């Protein structure tokens, strides 16, 4: 086991989105590869927006993706005493100060700075203030004014910012609650996190956090900022690009292995390989192969991967997932055919589990009505003889395997003088209600003798 300690630290203010899931995946893979520790921390300092429902959604999504954590989940809301003690330490050392500037005053300062061609940042009015009036205040960290803050990013290389470009961040609000940039430093240090892998939208936070590590006497960890994910229009991925919640893709019928495979390829590569199992990824993943440019989310590529994993999936496992979907739709599967056999007839064509479940319904629900166009073309008076011969031929079978079924249809073709192309569509409409289904022989075999004869007789009766 190595001394590597990484973490995933989502905010429970909503679902686990695609970008967050990829960050969690990168941390998980590196921890597994290097036999380190993967920590889960819930950053719920945003009291107004954090909900237990969101926490549950995040945990469910990680469980679905197979991203097990070694420690946690830890909750920031349970660590406030620690944060407040650290604020007090900084105040006592003169490394933080009370700021009494009102919101209106701060806005005026920002506007003045922008008019003067500067950045809209706090000007340090209260930085050296010694009086403590009876007025609301926040506590700000005293960012060093001289020198620069630099670090070597494991993905982006050296990043350096002059300290006079940074302002004094608020570390405690007027209500006494600590802020994100402060508590994340304390948590990462106290939890022994020595490599922080997160999105590159945090680069600006990192250069502000490093001086806090030093002021608090903590060792600064390594950082790796992964590129953001863009939509097809090359803008940051958002709801306008479609579903961004991981669990919505589950509802849409995607397999977790397809999602994992797709997410890892948004910014990471291993030669020309496209298909990776989780074991493959644990063996091959490296930050050295994470690119610096943004990944572009392509739903079609995700669909292609899902189709691959359905085609090559274990029918028994897929059967359980499809059964769950059908039961959720109110379909009674108890008295129907074996679900694994059903799945095998649909695997080659289905792109999602939802599509597979929709394609499987006819196995469990005999058609009440027939597709109008299909019936008008294939369930016609001249097909009475075909249906009668098919019923007779199938009825006489002593066994009901695919070879016997094929021989029964061969007999119907000989007796009627018709080719299969004139018989098959009629039988298909009678059995499934329309013109789309797996191979007729497979359908007849999986439905079973009793159900097939019942449906054929019903179709025959409909012709008078």
CA dihedral 193, 199, 200, 203 (to 10 degrees): -40
Omega cis (within 30) before 57: no
Task: Give SS3 for 52.
Answer: helix
Q: Are residues 171 and 304 in contact, defined by beta-carbon separation less than 8 angstroms?
A: no
Q: How far apart are CA 30 and CA 22, in angstroms?
A: 12
Cα angle vertex 429, ends 425, 435, to 5°?
65
Task: Report residue 370 CA to chain centroid gap.
Answer: 39
Can you say whether the dihedral through the CA atoms of 316, 317, 320, 322 is positive or negative?
A: negative
Q: Are residues 275 and 307 in contact, defined by beta-carbon separation less than 8 angstroms?
A: no
β-pairing verdict for 138-141 and 170-172: antiparallel
The 8-class DSSP code of residue 294 comes to P
To the query of whether residue 239 is one of the catalytic residues in this protein, the response is yes
Q: How far apart are CA 326 and CA 253, in angstroms?
A: 12
Containing H/E element for 159?
A: strand 157-162
Q: 101-104 contacts: CB < 8 A, separation 24 or more?
A: 101/125, 101/126
Active-site residue (options: 115, 234, 239, 419): 239
Q: How far apart are CA 171 and CA 264, in angstroms?
A: 34
Q: How far apart are CA 178 and CA 44, in angstroms?
A: 11
Cα angle vertex 181, ends 180, 185, to 5°?
105
- Known catalytic residues are 239
């Amino acid at each position: 086991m190595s001394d590597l300690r990484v973490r995933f630290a989502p905010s429970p203010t909503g679902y686990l989105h695609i970008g967050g899931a990829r960050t969690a995946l990168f941390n998980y893979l590196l921890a597994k590869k290097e036999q380190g520790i993967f920590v889960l921390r819930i950053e719920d300092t945003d009291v107004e927006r954090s909900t237990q429902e969101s926490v549950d959604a995040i945990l469910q999504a990680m469980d679905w993706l197979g991203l097990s954590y070694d420690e946690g989940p830890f909750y920031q809301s349970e660590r406030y005493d620690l944060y407040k003690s650290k604020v007090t330490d900084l105040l006592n050392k003169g490394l933080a100060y009370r700021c009494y500037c009102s919101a209106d005053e701060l806005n005026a300062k920002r506007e003045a700075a922008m008019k003067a061609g500067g950045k809209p940042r706090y000007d340090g009015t209260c930085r050296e203030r010694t009086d403590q009036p009876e007025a609301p205040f926040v506590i700000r960290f005293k960012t060093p004014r001289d020198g620069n803050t630099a670090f070597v990013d494991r993905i982006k290389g050296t990043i350096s910012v002059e300290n006079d470009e940074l302002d004094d961040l608020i570390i405690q609000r007027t209500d006494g609650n600590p802020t994100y940039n402060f508590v994340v430093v304390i948590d990462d240090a106290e939890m022994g996190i020595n490599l922080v892998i997160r999105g590159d939208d945090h680069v600006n936070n990192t250069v502000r956090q490093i001086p806090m590590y030093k002021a608090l006497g903590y060792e600064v960890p390594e950082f790796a900022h992964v590129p953001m994910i863009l939509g097809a229009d090359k803008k940051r991925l958002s709801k306008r690009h479609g579903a961004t919640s991981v669990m919505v893709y589950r509802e849409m019928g995607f397999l977790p292995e397809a999602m994992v495979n797709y997410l890892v390829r948004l910014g990471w590569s291993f030669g020309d390989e496209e298909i990776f199992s989780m074991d493959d990824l644990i063996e091959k993943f490296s930050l050295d192969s994470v690119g610096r440019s943004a990944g572009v989310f392509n739903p079609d590529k995700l669909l292609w991967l899902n189709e691959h994993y359905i085609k090559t999936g274990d029918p028994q496992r897929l059967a359980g997932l499809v059964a769950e979907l059908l039961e959720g739709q109110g379909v009674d599967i108890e008295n129907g055919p074996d679900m694994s056999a059903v799945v095998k007839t649909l695997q080659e064509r289905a792109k999602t589990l939802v599509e597979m479940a929709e394609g499987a319904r006819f196995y469990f629900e005999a058609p009440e009505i027939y597709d109008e166009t299909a019936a008008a073309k294939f369930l016609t008076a001249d097909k009475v003889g075909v249906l009668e011969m098919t019923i007779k031929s199938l009825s006489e079978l002593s066994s009901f395997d695919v070879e016997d079924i094929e021989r029964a249809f061969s007999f119907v073709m000989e007796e009627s003088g018709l080719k299969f192309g004139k018989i098959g569509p009629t039988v298909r409409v009678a059995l499934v209600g329309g013109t789309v289904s797996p191979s007729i022989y497979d359908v007849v075999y999986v439905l079973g003798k009793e159900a097939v004869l019942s449906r054929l007789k019903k179709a025959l009766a409909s012709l008078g």
